Every structure is written in structure tokens, then in C-alpha cells.
Amino acid sequence: MKIERLLPGLAGIVFLAIIPLLPVPPFWLTILNNIGLASLVTIGLVLLTGVGGLTSFGQAAFCGFGAYTTAVLSTNYGVSPWLTLPLSLIVGAATALPLGLITVRLSGHFLPLGTIAWGLALYYLFGKIDLLGRYDGISGIPPVEVAGYRFLSDGSIYYLIWFFVIAVAIGAKNLLDSRIGRGIRALRGGGQAAEAFGVNIVRAKLTVFVFAGVVAALSGWLYAHMQRSVNPTPFGLGMGIEYLLMAVVGGSGHVWGAIFGASIVLIMKDVLQRFLPDLIGTTANLEMVVFGILLVVILQLARDGLWPFVLKLLPKRAARPLPASDDKLAKRTLAPAGSSLIKVEKARKAFGGLVAVNDVSFEVRAGQVVGLIGPNGAGKSTTFNLITGIASLTSGSVFYEGQPMTGDSPREVAKHGIARTFQHAKILPDMSVLENVALGAHLRGTAGVFRSFLRLERRQEATLLAEAAVQLERVGLGAYRDRPAGDLALGQIRILEIARALSADPAVLLLDEPAAGLRHGEKQELANLLKKLREEGVSVLLVEHDMGFVMGLVDHLVVLDFGTLIAEGKPADVRKHPAVVAAYLGGVA
């Protein structure tokens, strides 16, 4: 990596490293330590809230699990803090996992509501258990030791805390900038697109939730050895809400914003606690009112938090060059031309009494471009959803290369080599064009969470990105590679979706109204692209309205009307079919 890219980070680390050596007031170090501890929790929340679209008010309880684990083990059983560290993290993960499993399948707001309740329940529980010292807590926790050196003072544990903060922040950045991370970032847009390319949505949500739990437990472990005593108070719901405030202030969605948000909130809290009582003449903890108002104001005025404003002030960094890659991704062996790929047999879908698709059968053969057309409400999109696994069949079946795939989820359908686009384009506007396309190659990579966190998957990641870049060039969007996908025009977004589908190395492309909203020239380019793909052996099934576009392109045409197949065959024949004419133009059938 270029040294210029590392420079701001290195400068930051050096700056952090010399602060304790300067003659700063001791309470500064206390505040900085607290900021570091809170930053760890907040980084987890940023991934959960800003990136994953979930949230939790109960992160403080996870700190509690980490802190109490090491407190009990190191005082009662004399276990070394370095041995309790992994145990604390495991306890954090082990509590997050079941809670996550329960809630991730529910609508987004059940998780935070659940966390409020368990945040309260756990606080009372910590205060009731004898082993945990009830409300008095546990004191006399040993400090962390490295080769005889004891991290006793604020100035020394400072280095330990900030080492972990920076390591976790870099790890979190790595994780987001990876194959797994693209899946996590796709959650916020509903995850439907990601699922169609094989991302396991439930698993991605669990991953961020467990990650957030583990870093909170790490913060708790550090807290226990910094304070050298624990009691239930810092692990209650109030603190959990404060962590979320930090994530919102900093800007949910930015890893460095987490540290920024934690700093603002904690410094503000200190200032308020110091000066408000003199100002108003009451000792009531008024910062609660201020924090409450601040939370609402930030959401009203700057929903993405304050970090984006800081980013605007900083000099813009140049786009990262595409990493070089020598490896080639394995290519799927395509079925011989003419063999059956997708076979729909008597597919039926009824919504209550309404039969949207009525015993429709047709086939897509390898090397063919098949068009599925029909007037509005003919059942085209429903048929499409039956094949892609978004809707379930009422009766009938769908086969892929002779194997039944009835009841498969969109993710399993993707594994067969069926890649799709969406009628209402589903891209991730904040991600770059290249990353959007790379999401399509999800199933062609194997790197997991740990390798991504530690940046050990760079070689594979480079191959995935190179493949995405190749597909972008192939569809003619190469010039837009590093732009946010939200910048593109509608026509380009449709092409982007095709590039994304292509990077999955599909055997069949399923295109849902690809020409809708395109200008004439763009339609011709699209038609040329599809013809080129056919020559390369890719099969295509497209749903379309535009007769002109379809007629010149497809080998085989299937016409639906009111859910029933009324004609199929070569485009020229179908065009003359009386039922088709009647369906499109009306008249006496």
C-alpha cells in the first residue's frame, strides 16, 4: 500500500501516543480512557445501526458480561487477566448469539425493544446475584500485567485501551471492505438484492450483532481492569442509551465517527456535570435532558450524524486504485446448447381466490434468449418470482437442469447459477459502482469473517474486484467505476444491475423489464449486449413490455394473459397468433 494513504492514520496514532507524555491534567487521561472504552462499544453499534440497519439499547449489558466474567475469574479463582480476555469475549458472543437468533427474523424494531427489556432485566440480575457481589459489586480486581509491568496508572492503561480501539476500528473497516462486509452493508437496503446473489441475510445480521456484543465485552474487560472494581451501575439501560447516542451523534455508518461521537458525548457530559449545577443551582443530573434533546435534534437536522461534516472539512482522498490480481476466478462450465436449463411445469400461484399464474409451463434451453411477455397484470412478474424463489408455488414445479428447485430460497436459486435483475432496480446508492457489481460475485469468494477482519483475504478480494471491473468494462460502465452508484442515471443503473448479475458467472440471466425507462439508444445497446452474451453461451429469460425490443432479440417467446399461457413459439409466429393480437389490441377473440 502507498505510504500517502497510511499517513493520516499514522499521524493520528503518533498523536495519540504522545498525549500521556505531555503535561496534561490527569482528568484528561481519565476522559480519554473513558472515550476509548465507549468507542469500542460504539464501533459495534455503528456496524449494527448504521451499516446493518439494526439497533440495540442493551450494549451496556454486554460490557457487563465481559467485566463480570473477568472480575469473578480473576478475583475468586486467581485466573490471569490475559486468560480471562478470550473468556470474556466468548461470554459476550455466547449471550449475543441466542438473543440475535431470537430477534433477527423479526421486524427491525423488535430487537431494540427486546434490548430495552433485557437491559433492564440484566441490570437487576447483576445486582441480585451473590457471586457477582450484588449491588456492591466486586473489588480488588488485579491489573493487567505484561512481562512484570503492571498497567496501574491512567497513563499506562491508556495505551492498552487505545491499542484495542485502533485495532478494532481497523478490523471493522477491513470487515466492511470485504466480501462479507458488502453483504452486511446490503442489509440496510432491505437485503433482497444481496439475497438474490447468495448472501445469507440472517447470518449477516447475526454476524454484526455478535461482533457488537464481542467488542462491548472487550470494553467491559478493559473497564474491569482499569477501574479494578465493578458494580451494576455502568451496565444499566441508561448507559446503553448513551452508547446509542454516541453512535447517532458520530454518524451511524462511519467507523471513525464512532470515536468522534463518543468523544463529543463524553466531553459534553463532563462539561455539563461540571458547570450546569452552578448555572442552574440544582444538582439534578440535567445532562439527561440535554442528551435527550440532543438525540432528537441530531435526528431531525443531521440524520447521518456529525462525522460527515468533519469528512467534508478533511481533504478528499483519491479513489483507491484497483489492486492487481493475477488469479482468475473459476468459470462455470455451461450446459451444451439446446439442453433444458429452466423448466416450469404447471406452475400455479393463487392469492386467495385470485389465480395470478394458472398452470403455466414453458422451458428455457441453454443458449436461448427467451422472452416472457403479456399485457399488464398478465402474471409475468409473479412467474418471475416463482422461478427466483421470492414467491412460493401453490402447485406445480420448477426444474433446473432436470433437478427440482421448488421451494428453494432466492439464495439457493442463486447457487444454481441463476442471476437476476430487478424491475425496480435494487442497488446500494452509497456503495461505489464497483462494489455494487462485486456483490454479484459473492458466491465466487470464500473468505469468512475472521479472514476479512484480519485482512488475510486480500488476494481473493483483489480477484473478486478484478472480475467486477471486467464485467463493468464489458457492459460499458468502466468509466464510472469509483463513483457512488447513486450518482448513475436510471438507464445506467439497469446496466449496472446486469453487470452485477454477470459477475455471478451465471448460467442463466433473469432480467425483469430491463428496458423499462431506457432511451432508444440505450435499448439498442442493451439488445447488442444481450446478443453478445448469447454468443458466449449465456441463456437469458427476460420479462418485457416493449414488443419492438423483444421481437428483434429473442429466440423464443412466451405470452401470458390473465395468468394463462396463450401462445408460445418463434417471435414471428407468435406475433400473428390471434389470441395474442386480441390480448394486446383487444377485439373479438
Enumerate binding residues for another protein (CB under 8 A). 49, 53, 55, 57, 99, 102-103, 105-110, 112-114, 116-118, 120-121, 124-125, 128, 190-191, 241, 244-245, 248, 282, 284-296, 299-300, 303
Minimum distance, C-beta of residue 549 to another protein, in the bound complex (Å): 30
Residue 345 parent element (H or E):
strand 340-351
Minimum distance, C-beta of residue 129 to another protein, in the bound complex (Å): 10
Minimum distance, C-beta of residue 160 to another protein, in the bound complex (Å): 32
Indicate the length of the chain as a whole number. Answer: 589
Minimum distance, C-beta of residue 103 to another protein, in the bound complex (Å): 6
Residues 227, 233: contact at Cβ < 8 Å? no
Minimum distance, C-beta of residue 302 to another protein, in the bound complex (Å): 12
Per-residue burial over 330-353, b if 16 or more Cβ lie within 10 Å, else e, is eeeebbeeeeebbbbeebbbeeee
Which CB atom, from 240 or from 563, has the smaller least distance to another protein? 240
Which CB atom, from 10 or from 288, has the smaller least distance to another protein? 288
Which CB atom, from 108 or from 375, has the smaller least distance to another protein? 108
Q: What is the 3-state secondary structure (H, E, C) of 51-96?
A: HCCCCCCCHHHHHHHHHHHHHHHHHHCCCCHHHHHHHHHHHHHHHH
CA dist., res. 262 & res. 242, Å (int): 9
Minimum distance, C-beta of residue 128 to another protein, in the bound complex (Å): 5
Residues 76, 129: contact at Cβ < 8 Å? no
Which CB atom, from 287 or from 544, has the smaller least distance to another protein? 287
Which CB atom, from 282 or from 403, has the smaller least distance to another protein? 282
Minimum distance, C-beta of residue 55 to another protein, in the bound complex (Å): 6
Which CB atom, from 53 or from 440, has the smaller least distance to another protein? 53
Q: What is the DSSP letter of 253?
A: T
Residue in this structure with the C-alpha cell 462455470, named with its chain if needed: 332
Residue in this structure with the C-alpha cell 468502466, named with its chain if needed: 478
CA dist., res. 195 & res. 414, Å (int): 8
Which CB atom, from 264 or from 438, has the smaller least distance to another protein? 264
Q: Could you tell me the CA-to-CA distances from 47 to 66, 137, 166, 211 in Å, in that order?
A: 19, 31, 15, 8
Residues 187, 194: contact at Cβ < 8 Å? yes
CA dist., res. 437 & res. 476, Å (int): 13
CA dist., res. 19 & res. 12, Å (int): 11
Minimum distance, C-beta of residue 285 to another protein, in the bound complex (Å): 7
Biggest CA pair distance of the chain: 96
Minimum distance, C-beta of residue 127 to another protein, in the bound complex (Å): 9
Which CB atom, from 112 or from 261, has the smaller least distance to another protein? 112
Which CB atom, from 57 or from 549, has the smaller least distance to another protein? 57
CA dist., res. 501 & res. 283, Å (int): 61
